[in-house]
Structures are given as structure tokens and as C-alpha cells.
């Protein structure tokens, strides 16, 4: 089970990273196309006018996918921001109780969000919602990526809730966030 869950988190994170790379590749192709045209103009040749169709919309969709699929990884990496100033001063037992309560609330919100994200995607599929630019892209696809990311995030929160309930440290506490300066909080 442990191994399976870690694989799911890892897969989601790799997909998120791939989406970021894809944004960079598509945008770079468009910029390279303009540079090529400028080069052609230097030799008195007509521009080619290379176009990545619907670039702005596709980049937006990929950003959604990248952002939500990265959720579990960033939670478990200790990167998601929270304010532990107040609960940091509590005695260990009280702090653990807070940790459980916060995780339960977080999992509930994420699960609630997941359910409605799934509905949004299903709704878009049912009503054939598409993007409006040069290429008609069905909106349910990026919306499904968003829902999937939130789903994995919910699982990750439940995973940590289980850990907290059974007296283990949640993942984000043990992860050493990659801070560049200053002390740990």
C-alpha cells in the first residue's frame, strides 16, 4: 500500500513536471519561429509565419494540469505554506490534536473540492464545452487533470491523517523543505 501510494504521488508529480516542460517547449517554438522570420528578413526572404495554434489557451490548460498534479508532491515535500507560529508553542499532545483536526479539515475541503471538480469536468463533457481559439479543445480534458490532481491531493491528506492518528509524523513534517536561508520554523 505504502509503495503504491508513493508511486501515485510520484506519477502525478512527473506529469506536472512534464506539463511545465511542454509549456516551455511550445512557447519556445513560437519564439524561435519569430527569430527565424527575423533571420529570413535579413536575407530579404519573405517570413514563414510559424504559428503554434491556440498557444495561450493550451499554456493555460497545461498550467492547470501542472499546478494541480503537483499538489501531493508539494504537500509531502513540506512546500505548501502554513503558519505554525501559534501551534508551535503548544505541548506535544495538544499539538498532535491540532494536527489531526487540521488534517481532517484539509482532507474534507480537498474531498469536497474534488467532487465538484469532477462534476465540472463531467458537465463540460456533457455540454460539449470547448475552447474558443483556433483549435477547439474540449475543456473536460484539462478539467479532468485538475480533478485528478485534487483527488491525489485528497488521498495524500488522508494518508497523512492516518499517520497523525496512529502517532507517526506526517510526511510534510519530516520532509526537510529546501530552504535557502534562515532557520527552520
Partner 1 sequence: MDLLTISLTLGVILLLLLASGLWVALALMVAGLAAIFLMVPVPPGAVMATTVWGAINSWDLAALPMFVWMGEILFRTRLAEDMFAGLAPWMRRLPGRLLHVNILGCAIFAAVSGSSAATTATIGRMSLPELDRRGYDERMAIGSLAGSGTLGLLIPPSIILIVYGAATEQSIARLFIAGIVPGLMLAALFMGYTAVWALFNASRMPDPDPRVPYLQRLWQTRRLFPILALIAGVIGSIYGGFASPTEAAVVGVVLSLLLSWFTGTLDHSTFVEALRNASRTSCMIVLILAGASVLTVAMGYTGIPRALAEFIAGMDLSPYALLAALTLFFVVLGCFLDGISIVVLTASVILPMVEAAGLDIIWFGIYLVLVVEMSQITPPVGFNLFVIQGLTGQNILKVAGMTLPFFLMMIVAVALIVLFPQLALWLPQTMLAR
Partner 2 sequence: QTKWEMPVPYGDTNFHTRNIVQFADDVKAATNGGLEITVHSGGSLFKHPDIKNAVRQGLAQIGEILGSRLSNEDPVYEVDSIPFVATSYDDARKLYAASKETLAAKLQEQGLQLLFSVPWPPQGIYTKKEISSVDDLKGLKMRAYNAATERLAQLAGALPTQVEVPDLPTAFATGRVEAMITSPSTGANSQVWDFLSHYSDAQAWLPRNIVFVNQAAFDALPEDQRNAVIEAAAAAETRGWEASVKETDEKTQVLKDNGIAVSAPSEELKKGLTEIGAQMAAEWAEKAGDEGKAILDAYNN
d(CA 43, CA 2): 61
What is the smallest separation between the CB atom of 39 and partner 1, expressed in angstroms? 11
Q: Which of 51, 112, 162, 168 binds partner 1 (CB under 8 A)?
A: 112
Contact 37, 50 (CB under 8 A): yes
**Does residue 115 interact with partner 1 by CB under 8 A?**
yes
C-alpha separations of 80 from 41, 99, 153 in Å? 48, 15, 12
CA-CA-CA-CA dihedral for 148, 152, 153, 154, to nearest 10: 100
d(CA 19, CA 69): 9
Q: What H or E segment, with its residue span, contains residue 67?
A: helix 55-69
Q: What H or E segment, with its residue span, contains residue 172?
A: helix 171-174
**Nine cell digits for residue 19:** 506539463
Binding mask 131-170 for partner 1 (x = CB under 8 A): -----------xx--x------------------------
Which option in partner 1, partner 2, none does residue 160 bind, with CB closer than 5 to 8 A by kind?
none
Given the rule CB under 8 A, which residues bind partner 1? Answer: 13, 16-17, 20-21, 23-24, 27-28, 30-31, 34-35, 38, 56-57, 59-64, 66-68, 70-71, 73-75, 77, 79-87, 98-99, 101-102, 105-106, 109-110, 112-113, 115-117, 119-120, 142-143, 146, 177-185
Given the rule CB under 8 A, which residues bind partner 2? Answer: 34, 46-47, 49, 51, 53-56, 123-124, 127-136
Amino acid at each position: 500500500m505504502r509503495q503504491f501510494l508513493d508511486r501515485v504521488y510520484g506519477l502525478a508529480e512527473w506529469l506536472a513536471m512534464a506539463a511545465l516542460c511542454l509549456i516551455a517547449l511550445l512557447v519556445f517554438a513560437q519564439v524561435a519561429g519569430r527569430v527565424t522570420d527575423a533571420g529570413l528578413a535579413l536575407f530579404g526572404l519573405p517570413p514563414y509565419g510559424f504559428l503554434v495554434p491556440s498557444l495561450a489557451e493550451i499554456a493555460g490548460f497545461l498550467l492547470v494540469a501542472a499546478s494541480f498534479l503537483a499538489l501531493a508532491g508539494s504537500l509531502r515535500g513540506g512546500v505548501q505554506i502554513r503558519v505554525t507560529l501559534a501551534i508551535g508553542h503548544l505541548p506535544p499532545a495538544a499539538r498532535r490534536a491540532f494536527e489531526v483536526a487540521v488534517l481532517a479539515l484539509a482532507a474534507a475541503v480537498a474531498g469536497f473540492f474534488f467532487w465538484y471538480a469532477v462534476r465540472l469536468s463531467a458537465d463540460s463533457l456533457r455540454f460539449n464545452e470547448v475552447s474558443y481559439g483556433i483549435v477547439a479543445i474540449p475543456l473536460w480534458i484539462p478539467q479532468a487533470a485538475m480533478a485528478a490532481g485534487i483527488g491525489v491531493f485528497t488521498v495524500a491528506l488522508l494518508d497523512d491523517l492516518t499517520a497523525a492518528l496512529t502517532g507517526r509524523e506526517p510526511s510534510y513534517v519530516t520532509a526537510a523543505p529546501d530552504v535557502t536561508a534562515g532557520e527552520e520554523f
